[in-house]
Amino acid sequence: MSEAHTSPYATLAAELEQLWAGERDFFSCAANMAALLFWRLPEINWVGFYLRDGDELLLGPFQGQPACQRIRLGQGVCGRAAQEQRTIVVPDVRNFPGYIACTPETLSELVVPLSWDGCLYGVLDLDSPRLGRFTSEDASGLEDLALRLLSATDRERLHRYYRL
């Protein structure tokens, strides 16, 4: 019998709760989450958040190379995941129509919508320089972490910042 597989996301979830330590500010918690994912997950060249501002997504806390600041809902992988409120895994970005290239070394991408009670707050975006980097385990693990972030933070405060 092999040892039971422990998801790295269970460990990351515990570390995040410890880092957040009851803090309720979205930007502070999201900044630490982007850093933890960027430095802990292998083969990742960009991790960050885009926050919904009306019918656009606006760049939020991230780690990696500078990126485009505004993306219209429906555009690129981020805009599509936001508009359809579903996780999108792109094994090869060259095959995704309308893909927005921020960093030339990115070859695969995963975008998880941040939504709560039907309200879309934005997306969590991860890029990798390896083709097919993201699995269904990554998708479900990151969906869980995204929900934890929204659950931990003061969502009313976000409503006051943005046109949600």
Q: How far is the CB of 11 from ligand SME (least distance, A)?
A: 25
In the three-class reduction of DSSP (H, G, I as helix; E, B as strand; rest coil), residue 102 is classed as coil
* Segment holding 41, helix H or strand E: none
Residue 121: CA count within 13 A, CB half-sphere: 25
Q: How far is the CB of 48 from ligand SME (least distance, A)?
A: 6
Q: Is 26 in the site for ligand SME (CB under 6 A)?
A: no
C-alpha–C-alpha distance, residues 121 and 67, integer Å: 19
Q: Is 67 in the site for ligand SME (CB under 6 A)?
A: yes
Which listed residue (78, 145, 150, 152) binds ligand SME by CB under 6 A?
A: 78
**Residue for token pair 């460990």:** 11
Q: Is 71 in the site for ligand SME (CB under 6 A)?
A: yes
Q: Is 51 in the site for ligand SME (CB under 6 A)?
A: no
Q: How far is the CB of 157 from ligand SME (least distance, A)?
A: 25
Q: Is 127 in the site for ligand SME (CB under 6 A)?
A: yes
Query: Could you write out the three-class secondary structure of 72-101?
Result: ECCCHHHHHHHHHCCCEEECCHHHCCCCCC
Q: Is 100 in the site for ligand SME (CB under 6 A)?
A: yes
Q: With CB under 6 A, what is the number of residues at the site for ligand SME? A: 15
